[in-house]
Copies of this chain bind each other. A is one copy, B any other.
Amino acid sequence: MSPRSKKQFEALRASSTSRILNAALELFGTVGYQATTIAQIAEKARVSKGLIYNYFDSKEALLKAMIEELSKEGEKIMQTVDTDDPTKMLESIIRGAFNWLRNHEKQNRLIMGLVTQVDQFDFVHDMANRKMKEYMELISELLRKIKFPNHRTEARILTTLFDGIGVQYLVLKQDYPLDEVEEMLIKRYCLPKKGNS
């Protein structure tokens, strides 16, 4: 009855789980969480509806798992930034933020859509809230280290800009000069200023 090894089973599990998560992300990130049906996810993942409930307790649990995975991925990226030279680190963070936007369009769309609903997806709201504050603190600290004037205010500006870029990029798409804005921010915050000395 059990000719498959444990490893095979686990591989199966992993494969199905990730197929489901990928399909869900694809749909949540385009048509939205509420407008996506379990049937659509099952079809896109080429899996039966029932199987989804073997791995996830509910549609919301599936969402939660996705958000958590996303949160972990975000942390992982943060840990790869160089921690010695504050200027290099800031540049690394800025470039990382822009790359995130480029590579996680669906995720951004999803989160943006969820974060607007009050009292319903508190775990998303909380995560967004926490991340925003973490970013703020980190960047503020870096700007202080590189002796950028008004470092707190500038950190506010910079983090706010990140979110603004996210929204504008999401709406304007190719019309938004992502590369240009990236270089401009690098220049403003990571290069030695001439006239500000």
Contact = CB atoms under 8 A, between A and B. Distances in A.
Interface size of A as a range: 35 or more
20 contacts: A30-B117, A31-B117, A32-B34, A35-B117, A109-B117, A110-B116, A112-B116, A113-B113, A128-B171, A153-B180, A156-B177, A159-B164, A161-B161, A163-B163, A163-B167, A164-B165, A164-B166, A164-B167, A166-B167, A195-B195
Contacts of A117: 30-32, 35, 109, 113
Contacts of A157: 161, 181, 184
Number of copies of this protein chain within its complex = 4
Interface in A72-96: none
Contacts of A156: 177, 180-181
A115 B166 CA distance: 12
B171 A132 contact: yes
Most buried by B among A35, A167, A195: A167
Contact of A164 (B116, B162, B170): B162
